[in-house]
Amino acid sequence: MAEEQPQISNNPVTLHKTIVLVGMMGAGKTAVGRTLAAQIGVDFLDSDHEIEEAANMSIAEIFERDGEPFFRQKETQVIERLLEGTPCILSTGGGAFLAERNREMITEKGVSIWLNADLEVLWERVRHKDTRPLLRTADPKATLAGIYEKRVPIYSLADLSVVSGGGASLDEMGRKVQRALLDQRPDVLEQKS
């Protein structure tokens, strides 16, 4: 379900299309998404959370029981449903943007923003978490590096890119995303007079 967020922005804005945050695990999609939603006064949705709620099990359990292809199919169905709703902030799983169908839906009904974090930042953020099924390997850092190398060219297809990391606070990251949209996509996020 959508999480209600108070509007805390000093500069009121209107959201015309769903903002879809894409990028690697650990890039900050959920944390930045929640902050951004609160700043502009819209709902925050997380496709992974929605999948877990519908399946009544964790992503890791779905991967283990049904495999990644099944999960990716369900992920596409959930993203399609979420894009049909009121414009909001939507955080997606790290692999969601890899599917051409998902990219097409996002381009048609929303705007994609790649939270671009370098490999060392990502490793620092994910290395102590055991909730990442793709990193359950003998050498998780090497696995992360391999995933990163394969995915970055696809993430670069996103409508906009915002650097994630560098010590920026969540509030600063939310404002960076807003600024990128206001500057480059006023059809998506419009400053109220």
Dihedral angle sign, alpha carbons of residues 4, 34, 91, 191? positive
Which residues are CB-neighbours of 184 under 8 A, at least 6 positions away?
160
CA distance 90 to 107: 13
Residue 123 CB partners (closer than 8 Å, separation 6+)? 26, 141, 144
Binding positions for ATP are 26-31, 132
Annotated binding site for substrate: 48, 72, 94, 151
**Do 155 and 114 form a contact (C-beta atoms < 8 A)?**
yes
Residue with tokens 């959930």: 78
Neighbours of 45 (CB within 10 A): 25
- 3-state SS assignment for residue 130: coil
What are the binding residues for Mg(2+)? 30
| Phi, psi dihedral angles at 67 (to 5 degrees) | 90, 160
Annotated binding site: 26-31, 48, 72, 94, 132, 151
